[in-house]
Structure 1
Amino acid sequence: MQLPNFDTLRDLAEQQPEELEALRQRHIAALITRSNPASQRRLKGLQFQIDGLRQRHRHPLAACIKISSLMKQSARDLLAELHASSAPHRASKSAAIVPFNTRK
């Protein structure tokens, strides 16, 4: 499914906003369907959050700012997880030493 060009999208926004919304929903659904099956549930949840923000903030710029904040927080969370998982593990301060008997 190919996205129409900018002029077509602009015309839809001005003359048929409900058709533009239906087109947006179709493209999002197709993208999620084509994604890795293991990621689809998470993507649907994320789209649910985005749609909720768009409904609460009717002004497009306000919705854009809120969605951008959501994306930034998600990126910060991911970065924190990456740093936490790559941090060197500290060895315990004491350990039992088990000698190997190599003589027979």
Structure 2
Amino acid sequence: MNMSINYDDSFTKNECIEFDFDEWMALNRRDPEAFEARRQALVEQVIETAPQTMQRRLRGLMFEIDAERAKAKTPLQACMNISSLMWERFDALRLHMNILTHPEKLSESEKIQLHRSTEEEPAVVLPFKARPKAE
């Protein structure tokens, strides 16, 4: 199964990356370490095609995704966790779009959600004892 990933003009390099799912699946079964190295290289290649101003954010997002993959016990759990993360971000985007376009139409639950997302939690300062000075 071949898929092409095309980037629109918002990316600095208009490239097409060929993606053969069956090839990737076979590589993962045959050599998981090679699969992971190739996956990371492809992710980096995609990030490099983004405008410089977006690259830090994309790397941060990949860090979150990789963290979800690392803490999951199974690939299915990782997929479900990453999917939940995606839907949380999408819902936050939808909420902010609603605020911009129709603030008067926000539901009570959306107002509560907005309040929670913008509410600052006070920082907790942890006390540490000073180390004795070494002479």
- TM over 0.5, yes or no? yes
Highest CA radius of gyration, 1 or 2? Answer: 1
- Percent identical pairs in the alignment equals 35
Residue 20 (structure 2) pairs with residue 5 (structure 1) = yes
Higher relative strand content: 2
* Structure 2 spans left out of the alignment, 5+ residues: 1-15, 105-135
* Runs of 4+ displaced beyond 3 Å: 1-4
* 2:58 match: 43
Q: CA deviation at 1:85?
A: 1.2
Residue-by-residue CA offset, 1:43-98 (whole Å, 9 max, x unaligned): 11110000000000030000000000000000000011111111268xxxxxxxxx
Higher relative helix content: 1
* 1:19 match: 34
Counterpart among 68, 74, 78 of residue 53 in structure 1: 68
- CA distance in 1 between counterparts of 2:33 and 2:19 reads 16
Q: CA deviation at 1:29?
A: 0.4
**Alignment coverage as a number of residue pairs:** 89
Provide TM-score, normalisation by structure 1: 0.77
* Structure 1 spans left out of the alignment, 5+ residues: 90-104
Provide TM-score, normalisation by structure 2: 0.61
Q: CA deviation at 1:37?
A: 1.5
CA RMSD of aligned residues (A): 1.8
